[in-house]
Amino acid sequence: MPRARAILLHLQKLYGEKIRSIRYEISRKLFRYKMAECLDMDKHILNMIRLTERLESLNFFMEADLQDDLILQSLSSSFSQFIINYHVTKKEHTLAKLLKVLTLAQKEMKGKARRCSHC
């Protein structure tokens, strides 16, 4: 019986290390994620939401404010005025609601936005 326990503990250690490595890679990608000026904002935000959900599936949870902050910090500079307005008028909402509000803001900015040089 002691041998079986030792094997089980060893397997738990190996499996736990793998999860930690996966969690590290996902969180690294999430915290460094940046949107280029010409990138599709919807896809960008949905990718960030997917990364957040993957972390949650690995028992790594972030408060809603931190999730919002990560998304806002990842946006291109053309969203700077939106970010200021967002902080002034912020209400409680989901990431899906933030995506909807950002989509509306992007539509309003379309005529004013300049295209990036590598598009």
Any idea where the domains of the chain sit in the sequence?
Answer: 2-109
27 token code pair: 């969180």
Residue showing tokens 């990138």: 39
pLDDT digits (tens, 9 = 90+) for 59-104: 899 999 999 999 999 998 888 999 998 888 877 778 888 899 888 8
- pTM for the model: 0.73
Contact status, residue 41 vs residue 103, Cβ threshold 8 Å: yes
* CA atoms lying within 13 Å on the CB side of residue 85: 8
Contact status, residue 55 vs residue 62, Cβ threshold 8 Å: yes
Residue showing tokens 């949905």: 46
**What is the rounded CA–CA span in Å between residue 113 and residue 105?**
11
Is the pLDDT reported for residue 26 higher than 90? yes
